[in-house]
Structure 1
């Protein structure tokens, strides 16, 4: 009984997978429920690509899939919102009450893109990581219109560095992560466990198991599982292994969302 809560269709500028292909594969892999969560990044800091979704067309496409797969697959209206501190009002206006599930993601920091490397200019590796975490903390203190933080330590994926250390290896970074986790727990928000992280080091999702252990120790309970798939072969990637590791940490439930309300399921 698996739920893949991070999936990208052709509505994301970096995916060519159709919603039909996505849903077919989810059924074939035995998933009970999915959330389609395409990218919407207002003022994305790379003018070579645009991550903006026509919301009306997007929601109608999901509704079409919901009708077609009724009784076979629960499909939630999700979105991955790229958050920056200067666009939070616009994010609220876009989201309104139209979605079941919102991932809060950070693809840019200090008005610079992570993927293309602009953000890292002028910083050492740990300086960049710490500045990124400060950006995340500022937003989660100010903003509430989301359910989980997506791939919290995604900063490890980027930057031209030989090693990709766990963010808890640095005391200042660890303290920032603790403050982020305490903030979201207090606000009844959660974390996403994103299995695309295995493509980085083969051993951890995003965030790392060490960060997930800290989240559990602090009392965090809201946890979604997502593959961050942009192609069919990655859907539900390493879910069995990930769930076994989450049980070892002490987590007992996974979370799904319906009209932004959490629903808990025994692991």
Structure 2
């Protein structure tokens, strides 16, 4: 079974695909199932762009294409929701029980945007990484309304640094990531393997294979795979390679979701 569980349509302000184009491309690629996971970031920390979705309109559009392509592909109602400690109530209200699948992601930390670099002001490289991980840990300890954590080590993508090191090489970062993974596992939540990570160093998805090894060692089982595509060309990019590496680590299944409940598929 082949699926892509991180895809963005025109409902995401930074996507180049319409929902119909996305679905057509998935069918042509022979996918069995997709989750459309557009951005909803409440109180996003950059006033130049807005990642908010009218849920009623969004779900209605997904339902239209579920019907249109029902004989060709399964289309799940997903969302990528930006998590911050001060918006738990708003996130819970938005999610309610309307979705099949929820990616909990971190595009901001400490009320500052990662992408535009605001978050890094005043921090050294490793100080920024540590503070980001502390923010993630705080959220996963106190918020449960998500299926998987998206691109856990996305912090490596940002900041004007010459290198993007493996976070586990730093002891404090290692300890924080281990705590994050233990919380996720204990709460029966999962990780996504986001293949957009190869755009950083050409070698790793997000999270890195080293973090995925640690997740496996700790007993993590819920694992989705997604391309984080904002254009047709990136859908399922490097999936075969990534899945082969996941098998080497010891994973023997990947996960899809229906009504927020995980379903496992042998790989």
Question: How far apart, in 1, do the equivalents of 2:183 and 2:92 lie?
Answer: 20
Partner of 2:96: 96
Question: How far apart, in 2, do the equivalents of 1:71 and 1:238 lie?
Answer: 26
1:71 Cα deviation after fit: 1.8
Partner of 2:261: 261
Question: How far apart, in 2, do the equivalents of 1:2 and 1:115 lie?
Answer: 31
- Per the normalisation by structure 1, the TM-score is 1.00
Question: How far apart, in 2, do the equivalents of 1:62 and 1:16 lie?
Answer: 17
| Matching of residue 200 in structure 1 with residue 195 in structure 2 | no
Partner of 2:111: 111
1:83 Cα deviation after fit: 0.3
Partner of 1:237: 237
| Matching of residue 4 in structure 1 with residue 8 in structure 2 | no
- Per the normalisation by structure 2, the TM-score is 1.00
| Matching of residue 152 in structure 1 with residue 148 in structure 2 | no
1:244 Cα deviation after fit: 0.3
1:16 Cα deviation after fit: 2.4
Map 1:78-89; keep pairs closer than 5 Å: 78-89=78-89
Can you list the C-alpha shifts for 1:191-233, whole angstroms capped at 9, x where unaligned? 0000000011000000000000000000000000000000000
Kindly report structure 1 stretches of 4+ aligned residues shifted beyond 6 Å: none
Question: How far apart, in 2, do the equivalents of 1:189 and 1:38 lie?
Answer: 20
1:93 Cα deviation after fit: 0.6
Question: How far apart, in 2, do the equivalents of 1:251 and 1:36 lie?
Answer: 24
Question: How far apart, in 1, do the equivalents of 2:199 and 2:122 lie?
Answer: 27
Corresponding residue SS for 1:98:
coil
| Matching of residue 143 in structure 1 with residue 143 in structure 2 | yes
Map 1:18-29; keep pairs closer than 5 Å: 18-29=18-29
Long gaps (5+) in structure 1:
none
Partner of 1:33: 33
Partner of 2:130: 130
Question: How far apart, in 1, do the equivalents of 2:80 and 2:14 lie?
Answer: 13
Partner of 2:42: 42
Partner of 2:66: 66
Can you list the C-alpha shifts for 1:116-167, whole angstroms capped at 9, x where unaligned? 0000000000000000000000000000000000000000000000000010
